[in-house]
Every structure is written in structure tokens, then in C-alpha cells.
Structure 1
């Protein structure tokens, strides 16, 4: 079944979906009828099974009868932030979509010395709206309980204001030197939240890594291979998923 996010708290057995975009997708695109069932996630991240009881095409809304679903949350047990230097438009959108599917709670894009793209102030709001919509659609498709926040920082040093309990910087020179233990050690400590920062296609400048290290970001390698800028965050999220979400029976 499809899942939709609603901005309100669902606290009664009947609920009216009056969001125009959701109404159009449910009624006009997927052509759901009275009696069909969908999932809803409200503003408290609670999942509900919702059966359509009425469709009002004049008012562009639909009424559903809801029942709380007690299944286990799909969210990671720790808050995960990935911070990526700006890449080309299609890569930024791809990172947003896939990071959402893999469980990131926050996605940060920032300018760095070797970034091949730089956003002008007059386009930032429009680009973030587009990325937030991509995150919403990916969260609905992957049955998340929340939509990740997507934010933009025009300077790398502003990352300090976004720090989590544990903070890492993926550094290709660490990988070249054979460093393979720091990431494993960091997640073995089971922090309540974690951030990992990733450089652009050309990598971080040495002084940028030095600045991050001086401000509590630990340099880590991501294995013996050098990855593309858009691949590294997905590797990191997959490692966390294996550590915290998969078990051996």
C-alpha cells in the first residue's frame, strides 16, 4: 500500500486529507475509490492504516477511517546526518533520494574549496524546495516515519553548528594510507547520533580536513577503495544499517 505524510496529529477515528497534492495523487493519479486502504504517518511519526470512506471532488479532499498500526518503526535507532559538498544537480538529487531511502535523518549540502558547483543566493530556496520534495517522495516510497531535513550551508565552517554526538570526516588520504579501523570503532561505541562529512569530486583541501579535525571531526577511511563523491555517503549509511538494523539468527 502507498504511504502518505500528513502535517497534523491524527487523534480521532476519522481524518480528512485536505492536502491538495496528496488528494490528487490518491484520487486522480492512482484512482483510489471508497473502500481502498492506504497508510498515513502523522506529525508524531505514528503509522495508521486508513480506509477511504468518502471522496469529495468538489472540495478536493477525502475522509478516511484510521486505525493505528503497531508495527516496528523503520527508523534507525540513532540519528544520522550526512553532509556532502555540492555536486552537479543530478548528483545532489540522487544523493537526497538514496540517502532518504537508506535512513538519513538530515542531509546537508555545503560549499567547499573544490566544489564544482556553487549556489547563488537567489536560487537556494528554490533548490531546497525541490530537494525537500524529493526527500518526501523517497520517504513515502521507502515507508519511513519521517522526512529528512535537507539544508544548505554556504561555508564549510558552519558545519560546526550542526555537530552530532559523534562527528566524522571521510578522507580519501586515510583510505590511501590503509586506515580501516576508525569508522568501525566510532560506531562500536553506539552513539545516539552521528554525522559524516564527505568532500566533492576533487576531495577536501588539506586545510579543510585540518579545520574539521581541530573541531572534533575524526578522519576515517571507508575501506581500501576510493569512491565517487555520491557513492561514499551510501556506503556509510549501509554500514550503519548493517550494524544497527541487521542481526544474525
Structure 2
């Protein structure tokens, strides 16, 4: 029998999904299995409902016939939230992809004072859908069983007011505290290219650093998330 984590997999979020009955595949997932992965009836797949479970199933036309349900422990017991001041588009997509693979539970996006990118309200839904697709694909690759949630907030001040146990990455001279040991739900706050504006710097009580070098946004995100989620 092929190990569950070695099977082709996809998130299939269907209301009232019953893992003991044949599952109708949504069109997008059906096309992925057939056209992208070149699978056919009789091939086994792993379906991810997004609730922490994994369903082993066999393709039968546009149906998936379940044979087993498991609950692998691939999600971190400590919820990590990434709050990211909007960077440039490529860096944003890379950051979302790597944070999702590494296991963050929530992603908050906000406009920092030095953010080059400003999201227009009319295009917000479309941009979020794009990022959610990137996150879903990253979670499938990483064998995660839950998807990160997304939230958009207006500014750093709002983020810090709502954040659980926030740690703000900073390259200012007063950021001398090294990355801490994470033992409880935590929000990692990363700024855009150019760092924090002086007005924002005044809001940061205990800035932390990843070292003396200046990192790209996506590198800082990946490093911070990896340190926070290592061995979890």
C-alpha cells in the first residue's frame, strides 16, 4: 500500500462532506488529478477536507471512493500568525508560499507606511483569492491538513492592538534581542522593503532581530517562521 503522504493530494472543501460516502470532486480538483497529474479511475489519491483529516480514496470518474480516514499530526500545536506589511508582489507571493509550507495558522496583511504596494479596495477580493490559491498549493505540497486563514488590517497600530504575543522584526539599532523560543501562540510581524517608518518604530516596544545582516522580506519571513515552527 502506498503511504498516505506519498499519494497525490488536494484540498477538497465540500460542505457536509461524508467520508464514508462517494465524494463528488469539484471541477478544479478533478482537472488537477486528470489533466495535471495524469491520473485515471482506479488511482489512489489523498483528499484534504481542511479539518485536520486525510481521506484515502480511489478515483472513479468524477467521484472519489473513500477507503480510510486518518488524522496525521502535521499541524503545529502552537498557533503562529504572520503579520506582513505589504511588500512588492513577487516578495508577497514568495512569503505566503513559504509561510504556508512551514505551518503558519494565520496570515495578516496590512499597509505599512513604507509599503510600495497599496491595495485598491475594488481589487482586494481578487488579490486575496490569488494568495489563497498560492497558500493552498503550498499546503498540499507540504502535506498540511489545514489551510491558513487570511485577514487584512489597515496599519501596524491595529495589528499590534489585536496581536497575540507579538514579536516585531526590526533592523533598527535598538533591536538587540535575538529571536526568542516560542512556547505559546505568537504573532510574527515583518515589515516591507525599507523597514519601519519612525512613526511605526515608536509603536514597537520590544523589537527582535535575526542578526546583523539585512534580509529580503521573503527571507526574513521564511527564517522567522522556520525558527518559530521548528520541530512542531
TM-score (norm 2): 0.88
Counterpart contact for 1:97–1:134, Cα < 8 Å = yes
Q: CA deviation at 1:44?
A: 2.2
**d(CA) in 1 for partners of 2:163, 2:175:** 26
Give structure 2 stretches of 5+ with no counterpart: 1-6
After the TM superposition, which parts of structure 1 deviate over 3 Å for at least 4 consecutive aligned residues? 8-12
Structure 1 residues 12 and 110, CA gap change in structure 2 (3 angstroms): closer
**d(CA) in 1 for partners of 2:116, 2:25:** 41
Residue of structure 2 equivalent to 1:21 = 28
TM-score (norm 1): 0.83
Give structure 1 stretches of 5+ with no counterpart: 56-60
Q: How does 1:1-249 map to 2 (within 5 A)?
A: 1-8=7-14, 10-52=17-59, 54-55=60-61, 61-70=62-71, 72-160=72-160, 162-164=162-164, 166-173=165-172, 176=173, 179-181=176-178, 183-184=179-180, 186-187=181-182, 190-191=183-184, 193-213=185-205, 218-242=206-230, 244-245=231-232
Counterpart contact for 1:128–1:152, Cα < 8 Å = no
**d(CA) in 2 for partners of 1:144, 1:123:** 29
What is the DSSP-based 3-state SS (H/G/I as helix, E as strand, rest coil) of the residue aligned with 2:123? helix
**d(CA) in 1 for partners of 2:174, 2:168:** 15
Counterpart contact for 1:111–1:154, Cα < 8 Å = yes
**d(CA) in 2 for partners of 1:47, 1:161:** 36
**How many correspondences in the alignment?**
225
The alignment's C-alpha RMSD in Å is: 2.0
